[in-house]
Structure 1
Amino acid sequence: KFGKTESGNVWLDPRYTSPYKFYQFWLNVSDEDAERYIRIFTLLDRATVEALVEEHRQAPHLRTLQKRLAEEITCMIHSREEYEKAVEASAILFGGATSEALHRLDEQTLLQVFEGVPQFRIARAELGMPFVELCAEKTQIFPSKGECRKMIQGGGVALNKEKVADPMRPATEEDLIAGKYLLVQRGKKNYYLVIAE
């Protein structure tokens, strides 16, 4: 284990700190820590480290050091494949990832990425209902069907990272991620997980 964070410790064992959270930990260290850690925890040669530090100082907002640190350590501890999964998972939450990327996530990673977002449960038999009903009646994602329709018309609603154009579009089995989840996005930053049981 290493260091203290709000959620406790960071562990090398994936049972205690998932590769996604492990990657996020290194990605979110301060500039000073990144400069120190890249020298201690990676096997990069001095010239490479100095070049990265210089590049980072020229444009700190790009977080070059943190990205390389997170890549090196995650690959070393978990694997290149786990690192790529973590990058893809991060893009889903913070970037413009696609519906295909979302459908490639395994259940464990999906739940880690969307930890803390509001969750609603529906009966599997209710799949097939119009999207607007799902969002305004079966869950509390929208307070009313009218508000849901209005936001859909404005292009502000997505199901599994794809804009919803028709409020009457059914939410079906084919939409499910990992066989049981629907990800509804309202506006840019509000995510909701609907679990079909």
Structure 2
Amino acid sequence: CPLITKADGTKFGKTESGNVWLDPRYTSPYKFYQFWLNVSDDDAKRYIRIFTLLDRGTIEALVAEHDAAPHLRLLQKRLAEELTVMIHSRGEYEKAVEASAILFGGSTAEALRGLDEQTLLQVFEGVPCFTLPRAELGGAFVELFVGQLEVFPSKGECRKLVQGGGVSLNKEKVTDPQRPVGESDLIAGKYLLVQRGKKNYYLVTAE
């Protein structure tokens, strides 16, 4: 059996960086799903033939559909679905899709609260993180997230963004900059997710 390589010629295996494990203790279903979702077009065309049980006709139709609209990444999405379901189950696949939608789509507060702690941290890996003393919970939104946490550069900027509908707490729009932020807002009893605009996320841990 020839060595499986990536499109750049590097080998596909556990000794390489960015490897993927079948054991969920080492690669969670969410990370597993994301791995296949993010492979290159060339790799997706090879891997869907190697790693899935799809028949030739289905694969050729998928490749043709993908080539007609590569920006939709239909091939990567099907590859990720087939392998995540095969290795982890349909339920884990659906949870991975929902977790991805939280970061990249218009997911709901309910979906965010449904994430387990490990997946939550993986979804928001790399976003700015802050620590908030629990004793400060109960304060107004604008007071908590301006200054010490530096989510907003100033109270005036925070109020302006809130008025424009550009601020969310735990995927729910903030309509009043004076709204109190308390224990009941914590996700998994310890996290707050602040969103500024469409793409700026901040994960706050209450300690």
The alignment's TM-score, normalised by the length of structure 1, stands at 0.94
Q: 1:154 to 1:6 in 2, by over 3 A?
A: farther
Q: 1:55 to 1:188 in 2, by over 3 A?
A: same
The whole-number CA distance in structure 1 between the counterparts of 2:180 and 2:18 is 42
Residue type of the alignment partner of 1:105: L
Cα offset for 1:176? 1.2
User: Quick one: which of 64, 74, 82 aligns to 2:74?
Assistant: 64
Q: Is the 8 A contact 1:155 1:163 kept in 2?
A: yes
What residue number does 2:52 align with?
A: 42
Aligned length: 197
The whole-number CA distance in structure 2 between the counterparts of 1:157 and 1:37 is 40
The whole-number CA distance in structure 1 between the counterparts of 2:127 and 2:188 is 17
User: Quick one: which of 112, 116, 122 aligns to 1:112?
Assistant: 122
What residue number does 2:5 align with?
A: none
Q: 1:104 to 1:184 in 2, by over 3 A?
A: same
The 5-angstrom pairing of residues 9-48 of structure 1 reads 9-48=19-58
Deviations, residues 20-46 of structure 1 (Å, cap 9, x unaligned): 111111001111111111111001111
What residue number does 1:73 align with?
A: 83
The whole-number CA distance in structure 2 between the counterparts of 1:22 and 1:9 is 10
User: Quick one: which of 170, 179, 193 aligns to 2:189?
Assistant: 179
The whole-number CA distance in structure 2 between the counterparts of 1:6 and 1:85 is 27
Structure with the higher helix share, 1 or 2: 1
Deviations, residues 74-112 of structure 1 (Å, cap 9, x unaligned): 111112111111101100000111111111111100000
Residue type of the alignment partner of 2:100: S
The whole-number CA distance in structure 2 between the counterparts of 1:118 and 1:47 is 45
Say if 2:120 is the partner of 1:144. no
The 5-angstrom pairing of residues 95-174 of structure 1 reads 95-174=105-184
Residue type of the alignment partner of 1:100: E
Q: 1:151 to 1:7 in 2, by over 3 A?
A: farther
Query: Gaps (5+ residues) in structure 1?
Result: none
Structure with the higher strand share, 1 or 2: 1
The alignment's TM-score, normalised by the length of structure 2, stands at 0.89
Query: Gaps (5+ residues) in structure 2?
Result: 1-10
Deviations, residues 42-93 of structure 1 (Å, cap 9, x unaligned): 0111121122112112221111110000000011111211111110110000
Q: Is the 8 A contact 1:35 1:65 kept in 2?
A: yes
Cα offset for 1:138? 3.9
Query: RMSD in angstroms over aligned alpha carbons?
Result: 1.8
% identical equivalent positions: 81
